[in-house]
Amino acid sequence: MRWSRTLTVVGCHAAGEVGRVVTGGVGDVPGETMFDKKLYLERHRDELRRMLLNEPRGSVVQVVNFVLPTQHPEASLGYVIAESEEYPAMSGSNTICTATVLLETGMLPMTEPWTDLALEAPAGLIRLRCRCQDGKVLSVRFTNQPSFAYHLDAHVEVPGHGTVRVDVAWGGMTYALVDAADLGFGLTPDEGRDLCVVGERVKRAAAEQLEVSHPDNPRHAGITQTEFTGPLRREDGVLTSRNAVVVSPGRLDRSPCGTGTSARLAVLHAKGELRAGEEFVHESVIGSRFEARVEETTAVGSYPATITSVAGSAWITDISQVGLDPSDPFPEGYRLSDTWLKPDP
C-alpha cells in the first residue's frame, strides 16, 4: 500500500442523514474564523471534498465535516461542513453528528448527564447541550445563529408547474419553502425521486426570480435548497409537521433537516402560526424527528429574526481511514446521472 494521503473518518448519521466527521489527516487550514477556513477549503483544497464525497469513495447521500482548530475564545473546536455542491454556513444534522463524534470518541470530555459546549461553525458560534449516559450521547440540542424570512408568500414561475407560491428563509442555508400539497405531494418515501426533480426546478426558479442577500454577510450563498412542507397538525398538543428538503444537486435529506427546521420556524413565527417557546416537532420523509422551538426574537439587519434551538440524536456507524493511491485514475472521483441529478460535464 502506498497512499499519498490518508484521512481518518468517523461515520455517523443523525436521524438517518449521513454526516461523516474527518478527525485526522487535514490538520489546520489558514483563516482566523471558520468562515475564513471554509473559503480556503473551497478555493484551495476542494479536492478533499471531491475525494470524500464523489464516487468511488463517497456517494451523493453523504456529507463530510472537517474538524479544525478554532481561534474563537468560547469554542472548543471548529468544523467546516462540505456537501456535494457547496460548503454551507451551517447544518443542523451535521452539527449533531460532529458533537456526537467529538464526545463519544473522547476528543472532547463528556460529562454526564449533561455536557455543555460551544463549537464554531462558518455561521458563527453554536452552543450545544448534550444529554449523555453510559458514554453515549443520547441527544444534542444546538442553538442556531438567527433565522429569518426574506420573502413570505412570494410567487415564482416554475417551468412545467406554472405559478408556485414560496416562502424564502435563512436558517443557516437559504431555503425556498413550498407547500407540498400545492405541487401534488404527500411527502411519502415513494415520491423521493419526483420530489428531487421538482425541487430542483423550484430552487432554480426562486434563485433566478427572487433577490436575497444576507445582511450580516453577503458572501453567504443565495437560495440553494428547496423545502417541501406538510400540513401542521397537533400530536398530544404539540405542533407537528412533515417536511422534505432537496439538497443540491438533487437528493433528499434523510433527516428532518436542522437548518431547514430553523428556516421553517422563522416562517411560522413570522406568520403568527408558532409562538416563542412553543414546542415544534419536525418529521422527515422517513419518519425520523427533530424537536425544536423559538427561544427568543431578535433582528438581522431590517429583518425580524428568531433564535431557534433544534434537538436530535446521532449514531456512530464506523471508523475508517480513507486513502489515495497516487496511481488511482479517479483521485477526485466522478459522478454519473443514474444517481446524481447533475453529473460531471
Catalytic residues: 91
Cell of 116: 455543555
Distance of CA 148 to the CA centre of its chain: 16
Contact call for residues 171 and 259 (beta carbons, < 8 A): yes
Alpha-carbon distance of 119 to 125, in angstroms, equals 6
What are the residues facing 24 on neighbouring strands?
8
Residue 32 carries which side chain, given as an amino acid letter? E
- Whole-Å CA distances, 250 to 8, 170, 264: 28, 19, 20
CB under 8 Å to 249, separation ≥6 — which residues? 60, 84, 85, 200, 340, 341, 342
Alpha-carbon distance of 321 to 113, in angstroms, equals 32
How many beta carbons lie within 10 A of that of residue 49, not counting itself? 25
Q: What are the two backbone dihedrals, phi and then psi, of residue 178, each rounded to the nearest 5 degrees? A: -135, 140
CB under 8 Å to 43, separation ≥6 — which residues? none
Residue 239 carries which side chain, given as an amino acid letter? L
Per DSSP, the residues of 265-304 read HHHHHHTTSS-TT--EEEE-TTS-EEEEEEEEEEEETTEE
Per DSSP, the residues of 103-162 read HHTTSS---SSEEEEEEEETTEEEEEEEEEETTEEEEEEEEPSPEEEEEEEEEEEETTTE
